[in-house]
């Protein structure tokens, strides 16, 4: 039972991993496992200790937020770098990416249609010249 360590030391209380030490009231109590953080009426976050005596919950939350945010930013930067590197590697090796291939196909289709229109216009002009005898 954690209550037997009340008014003793934080180290004695936290030898049992199910215990929570409240530094302001010097109470040792069962950690409220149904909740992630201890409620304020039980113990303030800046006074609550769990696991080790030298870190309070407030500092732990701030530190974990900073570490988590830093990891997310680093992950995003790594993903961007990998994508850019992969794209530049394709261009260096002469391998076009999907967008380049699609654009090349579209350009080829337009060129073929333009040549067909030119040939059709030329044949029409030739017919008109023949009809009026200007050939």
How long, in residues, is the chain?
135
The 10s digit of each residue's pLDDT in 51-86 is: 889 988 888 889 999 999 999 999 999 999 888 877
pTM for this structure?
A: 0.53
The 10s digit of each residue's pLDDT in 88-123 is: 666 555 666 677 888 889 999 999 999 999 999 999
Under DSSP, the state recorded for 18 is T
58-93 as b/e, with b when 16 or more CB fall inside 10 Å?
eebeeeeeeeeeeeeeeeeeeeeeeeeeeeeeeeee
Residue with tokens 């609550």: 48
């Amino acid at each position: 039972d954690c209550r037997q360590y009340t008014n003793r030391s934080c180290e004695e209380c936290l030898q049992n991993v199910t215990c929570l030490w409240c530094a302001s009231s010097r109470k040792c109590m069962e950690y409220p496992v149904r909740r992630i953080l201890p409620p304020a009426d039980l113990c303030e976050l800046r006074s609550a200790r769990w696991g080790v005596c030298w870190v309070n919950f407030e500092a732990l939350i701030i530190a974990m937020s900073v570490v988590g945010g830093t990891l997310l930013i680093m992950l995003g930067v790594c993903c961007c770098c990998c994508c850019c590197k992969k794209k530049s590697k394709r261009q260096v090796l002469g391998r076009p990416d999907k967008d380049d291939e699609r654009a090349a196909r579209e350009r080829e289709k337009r060129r073929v249609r333009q040549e067909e229109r030119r040939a059709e216009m030329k044949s029409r002009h030739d017919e008109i010249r023949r009809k009026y005898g200007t050939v």
